[in-house]
Amino acid sequence: MTNRGGASLFPVVIPFVVALLGYFYLAEELGIPFAIPVGIVGSIAAAIALHGPIGKAIARRLEGGPPPGSELPPEQVLGELDEMRQRLAELEERVDFSERLLAQSRDAADPR
């Protein structure tokens, strides 16, 4: 079950179906006079929640839009990636240097 953007609708549909089944079970166990106010309050709570960030995230997912945080221009992302690669190379050099120092100190301490 996918939309035009290719995003799966299962993460949206499954909680809705579970909540609906729970409501039907509640209506059966406690009776309709108690289930009606619970349904109204639950619907109002769901409407409030869907108007917030959760609703916006679900809408982006259904539209197949970009994930949050991907609004950066590609040039900036590539620049940050190059910077991270340079930092990683520097860290690798430091680790190699530290390993050589440790090996020299072990060799000097173990005169066999």
Q: Total domain count for the chain?
A: 2
pTM: 0.40
* Helix (H) and strand (E) counts in the chain: 4, 0
pLDDT tens per residue across span 42-91: 888 888 888 888 888 777 777 776 666 666 677 888 899 999 999 999 99
Q: Are residues 62 and 92 in the same domain?
A: no
pLDDT at 97 over 70: yes
Residue 100 pLDDT more than 70? yes
- Identify the domain containing residue 101 by its residue range: 72-112
**57, amino acid identity:** A
Query: Do 60 and 108 fall into the same domain?
Result: no
Q: Are residues 14 and 41 in the same domain?
A: yes
Are residues 86 and 96 both part of a single domain? yes
Do 63 and 84 lie in one domain? The reply is no
Task: Count the Cβ atoms, other than its own, within 10 Å of residue 7.
Answer: 16
Q: 97 and 61 in one domain? A: no
**Cβ atoms 10, 1 nearer than 8 A:** yes
Judgement on whether residues 60 and 76 belong to the same structural domain of the protein: no
What pLDDT shows up at residue 2? 47
